Amino acid sequence: MGQLRGEVMSSAAFKAVRQEIRDRGYSPQLGESVIGKKVTNEKTSTSWSVFKVECTPNDPPKSNQNAILYAKKKFGDIYVRGIYQRESDPIKMIDCSAPAAQNGAANEDQLVTYSIAVNSEEK
């Protein structure tokens, strides 16, 4: 996991999503809370490694306030997803992918944010 961790954390995709999560008021915990796992596609038996980074709110947490980062390297590309929610606001997902060798800034078109409604009034 050490090599994967180094490749992912130095990638443009990880840096871009990590900064977006920070801008939303969360601090990624890059120490002991980073967990690496192997994922296997049961149909094709292909596998890849992923890791998870938990994030803590910069302000005192409310009842429902969480954030997490997931990252994987597959076929030479780094894929990163950040997910966060503040109280009853919509869930936000931030996705970014970039070649593993790209460790500068991510292009703006590589970063996509999704909003998921959490109550029946939102469409």
What DSSP character marks residue 123? -
Enclosing domain of residue 99: 2-116
Q: Is 76 left (phi over 0), alpha (psi -120 to 50) or beta?
A: left
pLDDT of 120: 62
What's the domain count of the chain? 1
73 in a structural domain: yes
Q: Rounded to an integer, what distance in angstroms lies between the CA atom of residue 74 and that of residue 37?
A: 13
123 in a structural domain: no
Query: Which tokens belong to 5?
Result: 């961790």
3-state secondary structure of 5: helix
100 in a structural domain: yes
122 in a structural domain: no
Q: pTM for this one?
A: 0.81
46 in a structural domain: yes
29 in a structural domain: yes
Q: What is the 3-state secondary structure (H, E, C) of 29-77?
A: CCCCCCEEEEEECCCCCCEEEEEEEEEEECCCCCCCEEEEEEEEEECCE
pLDDT of 88: 77
pLDDT over 60 at 123, yes or no = no
Structure confidence by residue, pLDDT tens digits, 30-74: 877 788 878 888 999 988 888 888 888 888 766 567 888 989 888
Confidence of residue 19 (pLDDT cuts 50, 70, 90): very high
Report the chain's mean pLDDT, rounded to a whole number. Answer: 84
12 in a structural domain: yes
